[in-house]
Amino acid sequence: MARMTNTEIAAINALQASDAFATARTLSEALPYIQRYDNKTIVIKYGGHAMENEALALMFAKDVVLLKLLGINPVVVHGGGPQIGRMLDKLGIVSTFEDGLRVTDAASMEIVEMVLAGGINKSIVRAINAAGGKAVGLSGSDANLITAVKATRTKKDPDSNIERVVDLGFVGEPDKVDPSVLTALAAQRDEDFIPVVAPVGVGADGRSFNINADTAAGAVAAALGAKRVLFLTDVTGVLDKSGNLIKQLTVAEARGLIADGTAKGGMIPKLETAMQAVEKGVEAAVILDGRKPHALLMELFTEHGAGTLVR
């Protein structure tokens, strides 16, 4: 085997020194952002491609553990639509959608709760624990975390122009959030618990309700008075009419984008949820691309962030 020359060795040492310097500089530049979020609560809605991609899921788990080690209190609220759909198909249960919401009958609700509060929730818990964290799996039913009411929707008939009520079954909306179980976990400073919440709520009659994960995350963030609520999505953020990313929006500007048709489709409910969270006391909500590696860290610890921030 040929021996390296002194010049080659010097070049390698210089490269390693350069990498070490770059790492140190990055950590130094992140200091003011670390201080900004010290002992603050960050609610993270986790779902979409980021959850289904194994490499991204591993990165997400490590990033959440890092947030906790940096003195931040992360709370993860997860979705699971694709996984629910696959299980319903496997069992031969047909499901339909109305305005992006899965119509959930009694049979479907059993599967929804099994998949969300069972398989998905525990897989996220295991991933965070494997990365060195102490994740605790919960659903909105635990300690009455999320009390839900039946969601109501109306739909206008295109021919008669008459609105009809759409029965979504066991689809719910948060009516009340009692964050005491989350604050109790956060108070255990020596344990560094990380809550992972499945968006299943409980009604006044004890029945379970399927809640949209974005909506659940926004409601939990508002109840906790979170510093940030981050919605990890499969898009880069809110785009203008030319397709360029909008870095920041006020609530009024966000409403304007919906009104003039710039924001459309699935972005509308995300913006509405972000606006509601901000109006209820969350300092800011961010819609960002969960498909980007380390999107959480880029959003929280760099100057330009990684998505669209709504104040």
Q: What is the DSSP string of 187-224?
A: H-TTT-EEEEEE-EEE-TTS-EEEE-HHHHHHHHHHHH
Q: What is residue 265's predicted lDDT score, i.e. its pLDDT?
A: 79
Calpha distance 203→144 (Å, rounded): 9
Residue 214 tokens read as 């974005």
Strands 193-198 and 200-202, sheet pairing:
unpaired
Q: How large is the angle between the packed helices 251-259 and 267-279, nearest 10 degrees?
A: 150
Residues 6+ positions from 84 with CB-CB distance below 8 Å: 102, 111, 112, 115, 116
The sheet carrying 73-78 orders its strands as 134-139, 193-198, 73-78, 41-46, 228-233, 284-289, 307-310, 248-249
Strands 73-78 and 193-198, sheet pairing:
parallel
Residue 234 tokens read as 């499969």
Calpha distance 202→178 (Å, rounded): 12
Closest CA to 143 of 194, 177, 105: 177
pTM of the shown model: 0.87
Residue 8 φ/ψ region, left for φ over 0, alpha for ψ in the -120 to 50 degree band, beta for the rest: alpha
- Is domain 40-310 in CATH 1.10.10.10, yes or no? no
Look up residue 245 and give its DSSP letter. B
Provide the total of helices (H) and of strands (E) in the chain, helices listed first.
11, 14
Calpha distance 298→281 (Å, rounded): 24
CA 37 remoteness from chain centre: 18
User: Tens-digit pLDDT profile for the chain (311 aa)?
Assistant: 556 777 766 766 666 666 676 777 777 788 888 899 999 999 999 987 788 889 999 999 999 999 999 999 999 999 988 888 888 888 888 777 776 677 777 888 888 899 999 989 999 999 999 999 999 999 999 999 999 998 877 666 666 666 666 667 788 999 999 999 999 999 887 789 999 999 999 998 899 999 999 999 999 999 999 999 999 988 889 999 998 999 999 999 999 999 999 998 778 888 999 999 999 999 999 999 999 999 999 999 988 788 999 99
Look up residue 178 and give its DSSP letter. -
